[in-house]
């Protein structure tokens, strides 16, 4: 879509370039931004020219640059990137393609849409929002005063399409800790239509210390993250998922349906993780 209110365009190459003039907005991949009128905007500042690394593997985990595309993230998980390779014990990277497929989009979108853009757009059904919430992902945010702050991606969202980012703040990266990447993790999703946008995305994982984490996204306005010292009993998990706040109704599903399928998906995941652990379901 043509953005007929835009009168200026800048390519950012250093942090000072990210200081926004009145009417300027940040441009990442642009897959959403160019899909709707942006009548409030008069200028674009291109973030993709900052030269940030797509992926950095460290002892502490994985740093995903905000300008890394969805396609690059999937290629990394599938061992198809030459400049970064995942350690063999990062079993949870198997979730990356699953989360990406929850984003109903063509390969063209995958090759353009960015990790940072998905987080900043903050849709309840956002693929990276689901992935980061499931794996304790933390957003690294550059503030206009030259400082930075960090916040869990699950806590960054304030609603479907809203977040607590202030004007001039820029998501620099999403960091996923190594302990979550080493976990045994399962993600399941459901939609009203076979190829429809996800109405519920549920993830469960067991860390090496035996603790368990379950997350619900897409079904609730903001991510729901449930933590347990060990794999919970079926009744406890069902009650906790059903009691989550902000199940909502839209054309893609009613609140009651979202709640019901989230409970069902969580139990299927719990049973699968229990079977893998040799526990009684």
If one counts the domains in the chain, the total is 3
Residue 35's domain comprises 8-46
Of 131, 147, 179, the one marking the end of a domain is 179
Task: Name beta bridge partners: 10.
Answer: 45
User: Does 3 fall in a domain?
Assistant: no
* Model confidence pLDDT, tens digit, residues 195-253: 778 999 999 999 999 999 999 999 999 999 999 999 999 999 999 999 999 999 999 99
> Do 106 and 122 have their domain in common?
yes
Q: Are residues 175 and 212 in the same domain?
A: no
Q: Bridge partners of 69?
A: 114
- Return the pLDDT at 21: 94
Encoded tokens for 135: 């794996």
Over residues 111-115, the mean pLDDT reads 91
Q: What is the dihedral of CA 114, 119, 125, 127, to 10 degrees?
A: 40
Tokens of 165: 């980012």
Place 278 in a pLDDT band, splitting at 50, 70 and 90: low
- At 106, the pLDDT band (50, 70, 90 cuts) reads low
């Amino acid at each position: 879509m043509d953005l007929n209110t835009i009168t200026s365009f800048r390519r950012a190459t250093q942090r000072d370039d990210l200081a926004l003039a009145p009417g300027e907005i940040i441009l990442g991949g642009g897959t959403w931004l160019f899909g709707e009128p942006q009548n409030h905007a008069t200028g674009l500042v291109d973030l993709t020219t900052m030269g940030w690394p797509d992926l950095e593997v460290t002892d502490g985990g994985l740093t995903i640059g905000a300008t890394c595309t969805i396609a690059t993230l999937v290629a990394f998980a599938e061992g198809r990137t030459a400049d970064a390779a995942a350690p063999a014990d990062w079993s949870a990277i198997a979730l990356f393609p699953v989360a990406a497929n929850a984003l109903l989009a063509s390969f063209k979108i995958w090759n353009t849409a960015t990790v940072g853009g998905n987080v900043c757009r903050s849709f309840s059904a956002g693929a990276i929002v689901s992935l980061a919430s499931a794996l304790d992902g933390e957003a690294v945010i550059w503030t206009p005063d030259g400082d930075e702050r960090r916040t869990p991606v699950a806590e960054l969202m304030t609603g479907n399409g809203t977040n607590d980012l202030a004007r001039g703040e820029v998501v620099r990266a999403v960091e996923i800790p190594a302990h979550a990447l080493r976990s045994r993790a399962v993600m399941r999703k459901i939609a009203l239509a076979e190829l429809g946008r996800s109405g519920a995305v549920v993830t469960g994982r067991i860390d090496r210390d035996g603790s368990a984490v379950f997350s619900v996204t897409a079904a609730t306005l903001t991510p729901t993250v449930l933590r347990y010292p060990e794999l919970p009993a079926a009744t406890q998990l069902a009650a906790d998922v059903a009691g989550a706040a902000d199940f909502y109704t839209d054309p893609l599903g009613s609140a009651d349906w979202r709640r019901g399928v989230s409970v069902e998906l969580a139990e299927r995941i719990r049973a699968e993780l229990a079977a893998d652990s040799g526990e009684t379901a």
